[in-house]
């Protein structure tokens, strides 16, 4: 049985989601042309706070939904 990947807050990360060592989240996917694409955000979920000194933007999961459209 494989262990589920978790972030620093102990939340389970979905397939394609990663947390970098600086705390930033990354979503990796393959587009229609077969090219690898990456989307980054400081927040995983829309209710997460933005770190001090960082610009407020969409959360990673909101960006994932936007990319899927």
8 falls within a domain: no
Q: What is the pLDDT of residue 1?
A: 57
Within 10 Å of residue 38's Cβ, how many Cβ atoms? 10
Q: What is the pLDDT of residue 66?
A: 86
Give, for all 69 residues of the chain, the pLDDT tens digit. 578 999 999 999 999 999 999 999 999 999 899 999 999 999 999 999 999 999 999 999 999 988 766
48: containing domain: 17-68
Q: What is the pLDDT of residue 14?
A: 94
Within 10 Å of residue 45's Cβ, how many Cβ atoms? 13
3 falls within a domain: no
Q: Residue 63 is part of a domain; what is its CATH number?
A: 3.30.160.60
50 falls within a domain: yes
pTM value > 0.85: yes
28 falls within a domain: yes
Q: How many domains does the chain have?
A: 1
């Amino acid at each position: 049985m494989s262990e589920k990947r978790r972030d620093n807050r102990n939340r389970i990360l979905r397939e394609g989601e990663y947390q970098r060592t600086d705390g930033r989240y990354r979503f990796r996917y393959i587009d229609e042309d077969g090219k690898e694409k990456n989307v980054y955000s400081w927040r995983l979920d829309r209710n997460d706070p933005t770190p001090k000194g960082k610009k407020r933007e969409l959360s990673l999961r909101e960006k994932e939904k936007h990319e899927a459209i």
